[in-house]
Amino acid sequence: MRIVIGQGSCGIAAGAEKVRKALLNTNINKDDISITGCIGMCYLEPIVDIYDGDKLTRLVKVSENDAQAIADYVETGDFSKIESLTVSDEDSEFLTKQTRIALRNCGIINPEKIEEYIGADGYKALKKALSMTPEEVIDVVKTSGIGGRGGAGFPTWFKWNAARQSEGDEKYLICNADEGDPGAFMDRAVIESDPHNLIEGMLIGAYAIGAKHAVVYVRAEYPLAIKRLTNAIEQAKAEGIIGSNIFGSDFSCDFMIKAGAGAFVCGEETALIESLEGHRGMPRLKPPFPAQSGFWRKPSNINNVETFANIAWIINNGGEAFAAMGTEGSKGTKVFAVTGKVKRSGLVEIPMGKTLRDVIFDIGGGMKTDKEFKAVQMGGPSGGCIPASLIDTVIDYKALGATGAIMGSGGMVVMDESTCMVGMAKFFLDFTAKESCGKCIHCRIGTKRMLEMLDRITKGEGKEGDIELLEELCYSIKDGALCGLGQTAPNPVLTTIKYFRDEYEAHIKDNKCPAGECSDLIEYRIVEDKCKGCTLCARNCPVDAITGTVKNPHTINTDKCIKCGKCYSSCKFGAIVKE
């Protein structure tokens, strides 16, 4: 038997490394214990897969205390001790209802062993591409219809062709792995779980455009991704896959990793290039575009991790196979990081053309609590909130754009009725205001003024006309900002006003937060008839704002109350109400 432990960042955070060490201390053959990356079922980590020939037994939410039971099963076949850990049929549907291309090896192979990637047809596509002309490779990518998975959906073949046709002996291929959206972790998972897939896709892209240099710009906050990618590059060099005369061809290419300092604006390609060159990450005016003048003013092509993660599959299976999935204007599959108030959070890869309902309810399992689904934030700080009434919106670039949101890189934050939409808009705007590079006035000052207004509104200090002024500011910033960060920063505000205007009006006119989330607009009160005098609320209050004796109704001193909600969540009798 072979024991494989999920060791993506999510698994390690949940305790997978402790599980691995505990298994190594049992009588299981150490050579039979291996690791893999994130399979996407983040809500069930730590995950341990037991392979007995072709038979797979998947164990979920495993702790180090389960190590001996697993060892007993391996030795004696006693299934009873691990039966309670096996994944349910319902949870298994999380994966079976997906179509995996970019994530096809994630959670399956060991990301630290090149031989396992090669065993999964790794680098076969690169060999095939090197037997073709660069123009033929670009033509296959064109046939596939793949658009950039970083958010814009711009045709990948067009960017490659533009860089290919640019004059110059020195060209650069760059991978944008500066994943900065709150709630997004698709690129991190791909690099941690299948780094050679990224390398192969980049090498094919470098060959297509005529680049001898490949650069991965990755967030420094992704240490495990950087570690595994560095290891994969060294392995590929040792096998002659990176370097001179790759696979005996005339094609040569080297690799470099650049760890970014965590500036969200560096997700914009020209700001990324500025950072690569050692400057402050600020966007350049376009044109010229990177294909003509990019890194060190040389022709350059930039795509994100997920885009490159699809390339080897496309070359192996043909552009037509990829184009057969999706919709007319949005081909292939898309990876989403599903988070928030949803039962099954993790990575989901589905063909374009599925609906939001398919992802949130069919694959994601619906709401985590008994509260109703309210909205989903698509595209991170650059995206927008899509309300429950539009749950059947088709997932493609055009349909999502029509709602006021965007596909983005694939962040999908699910919200229930306990979420304040004004507060949600404020959260994302606070992020973009802080991440603004400050180069243009519309973004630097405009987002700050909008944030100040939203802050007032959530404190009950809003005024008549604030909503209209917010809208006016939004459109001014969209029209005047220099780069995509500023141009899309107003999206969360515009969509929440469009679909949840009544919540803005309740905050301004009634000084009430309908969701009961804005602490300045809520008050906690104890209902005498329901209070049993158990003292639990008083014991949980961090500022001693609750008084009363045992078996007698308690009271809350509203002057001392900091509205933390601990009393509300701890009361077992429903005696504390939030108003």
Question: What 3 state SS string does 379-439 have?
Answer: CHHHCEEEEHHHCCCECCHHHHHHHCCCCCCCEEEEEECCCCHHHHHHHHHHHHHHHCCCC
192-222 residue pLDDT tens: 999 999 999 999 999 999 999 999 999 999 9
148-170 residue pLDDT tens: 998 778 999 999 999 999 998 89
483-517 residue pLDDT tens: 988 999 999 999 999 999 999 999 999 999 999 89
Using only the alpha carbons of the chain, give its radius of gyration.
26
97-128 residue pLDDT tens: 999 999 999 999 999 999 999 999 999 999 99
Confidence of residue 409 (pLDDT cuts 50, 70, 90): confident
Percentage of the chain beyond pLDDT 90 is 92
With 90 as the cut, is the pLDDT of residue 539 above it? yes
pLDDT at 578: 87
With 90 as the cut, is the pLDDT of residue 262 above it? no
pLDDT at 160: 98
Question: Before 387, cis peptide (omega within 30)?
Answer: no
| Nearest by Cα to 504 from 450, 454, 444 | 454
Do the beta carbons of residue 305 and residue 296 sit within 8 Å? no
pLDDT at 532: 94
Alpha-carbon gap, residue 138 to 205, rounded angstroms: 9
In order of start, what are the domains of the chain with their CATH numbers? 2-91 (3.40.30.10), 114-323 (3.40.50.11540), 333-416 (3.10.20.600), 421-509 (1.20.1440.230), 523-578 (3.30.70.20)
pLDDT at 437: 93
> What is the mean pLDDT of the segment spanning 351-366?
96
Helix or strand run (H / E) with residue 468: helix 466-480
Helix or strand run (H / E) with residue 66: none
Confidence of residue 323 (pLDDT cuts 50, 70, 90): very high
Amino acid at residue number 364: G
1-44 residue pLDDT tens: 999 999 999 999 999 999 999 999 999 999 999 999 999 999 99
Task: Report yes or no on whether pTM surpasses 0.75.
Answer: yes
> What is the mean pLDDT of the segment spanning 521-533?
93
Alpha-carbon gap, residue 424 to 432, rounded angstroms: 13
Q: What are phi and psi of 233, to 5 degrees?
A: -65, -45
Read off the tokens for 294: 């990019």
| Nearest by Cα to 178 from 275, 267, 270 | 267
With 90 as the cut, is the pLDDT of residue 367 above it? yes
pLDDT at 549: 93
426-451 residue pLDDT tens: 999 999 999 999 999 999 999 999 99
pLDDT at 537: 95
pLDDT at 432: 94
> What is the mean pLDDT of the segment spanning 221-231?
97
Q: How far is residue 428 CA from its own chain's centroid? A: 15
With 90 as the cut, is the pLDDT of residue 380 above it? no
- Please name every residue paired with 347 in a beta bridge, in sequence order, or none if there are none: 337
pLDDT at 7: 97
pLDDT at 579: 82
pLDDT at 152: 77
pLDDT at 305: 97
> What is the mean pLDDT of the segment spanning 366-378?
94
Q: Identify each DSSP E strand in 209-367 by its residue range.
A: 213-219, 254-260, 300-304, 333-340, 346-351
